[in-house]
Amino acid sequence: MTICVRYTKDLIVYERFLRFINVSQKQDANALSTAIIHFFKTNKINVPVVAQAYDGASVMAGKFNGVQTKIKTEYPYAIYTHCMAHRINLVVLDMCKLVKETRIVFNCLESLYVYFSHPSNNIKFKEVQEELGIKKTLLTRLSDTRWNCRAKNCTSVKSNFKAIITVLKNEIDSSNNKDALQAIGILSILKKPSFFIHLLILEEVLQIINVLNTRLQNKGATLGSAINLIEGIIKTFESLRVETEFQKIWNNIINFAESNNLDLLTTVNDHCAKRQKKQPKNLNDFYVFTTTTMNSEPQNLNESNQTDIYHKSCTDYYQVIDCIVTNLKKRFSPESLKMASSIDSFHKLNYDLSKYFIEHYK
């Protein structure tokens, strides 16, 4: 476990690393909190502890039995703060848990990174990019601790889609080794409507929230200064949860499919087409003029299937929006925002607006 401290001297904030503590034998809340308190007392660090910050793991952040709660028994004024940028990343991780299609997209993006991380495949990728006149961009590894890498990867795959497809097809046509098998698997996923539909949905959504992530990762950023932006992002997502907004994304999806020769109905026609009815064998010797079932008017299956895909995609879009809004409100609760705003006001020596913070430490 790493112990770092932040303190002020002459109104200048300093951050210092103190020591690694061996907690390999036990990592529950009691063991970790005891180790922290023991370290402070052993090293005679007898200063007021007014805040504590960890990640969102339950053992650290638990409201009743977490480390932050146990530290408060020794240092009552130590407000727990969850890392701001980490909160944003947890929003997308929660979304992946709840929305199956987003997991599939990100798993495929990771597979693409692994495939093109091989030097030979990367060289082919750059050559095809140059042939197609596409700006050379790299596919980066997805990280559970960096939100913006997901937004960048979605944009990168979208803009390099033709180059990626070309490299994979060339690999399949010219090779019989395991790389060809891997290319076949990735290519089959990329061509599925469920993949590129949700790729474009995620790109649109992640680009919006990436504005907040960039702001929170600024060196001088505070949660209080980002309050208006947080509230604005939430309102933006709420306003996007209408069919007219999804229609704009759907138009982009159609254009993307046409420009890349992708069939929106590929999987639907394979799995959703109705089974052709056959006449029962016991009626072979009879003339059948009509059946007892009601015949519906002939319909355009392609048009019907595309409508089904549209409504399914729209529902998934709403689910993504709902998940993000719910988690943003959860991660940035009104109480935490109020405290952050009050702290910012305290720094500006505004007594009236910093009362909430002052009352906490009375």
Pair (72, 94) in one structural domain: no
Q: Cα separation of 362 and 359, whole Å?
A: 5
Burial category of 14 from C-beta neighbours within 10 Å (exposed 0-12, middle 13-18, buried 19 and up) = exposed
Question: Which pLDDT does position 302 carry in this prediction?
Answer: 57
Pair (185, 101) in one structural domain: yes
Candidate from 145-159, 187-201, 243-257 with smallest mean pLDDT? 145-159
Pair (66, 95) in one structural domain: no
Task: Indicate the pTM of the whole model.
Answer: 0.74
Q: Cα separation of 269 and 309, whole Å?
A: 11
Q: Which residues contact 57 (CB under 8 A, 6 or more apart)?
A: none
Question: Which pLDDT does position 270 carry in this prediction?
Answer: 41
Question: Which pLDDT does position 7 carry in this prediction?
Answer: 85
Q: Cα separation of 71 and 75, whole Å?
A: 6
Pair (112, 66) in one structural domain: no
12-62 confidence digits (pLDDT tens): 778 889 999 999 888 899 999 999 999 999 998 888 888 888 877 789 888
φ and ψ at residue 320, rounded to 5 degrees:
-65, -45
What value does the CA radius of gyration of the chain take, rounded to a whole number of Å? Answer: 28
Pair (164, 231) in one structural domain: yes
Confidence of residue 254 (pLDDT cuts 50, 70, 90): very high
Indicate if the pLDDT at residue 329 is higher than 70: yes
Confidence of residue 268 (pLDDT cuts 50, 70, 90): very low
93-138 confidence digits (pLDDT tens): 788 777 888 889 989 999 999 999 989 899 999 999 999 998 888 8
CB 91 within 8 A of CB 331: yes
- Average pLDDT on 298-307 reads 59
Domain region containing 9? 2-82
Pair (128, 15) in one structural domain: no
Q: Cα separation of 224 and 36, whole Å?
A: 28
Pair (55, 96) in one structural domain: no
Q: How many domains does the chain have?
A: 2
Q: Which residues contact 201 (CB under 8 A, 6 or more apart)?
A: 249, 313, 316, 317, 320
- Average pLDDT on 246-259 reads 94
Q: Is residue 272 situated within a structural domain?
A: no
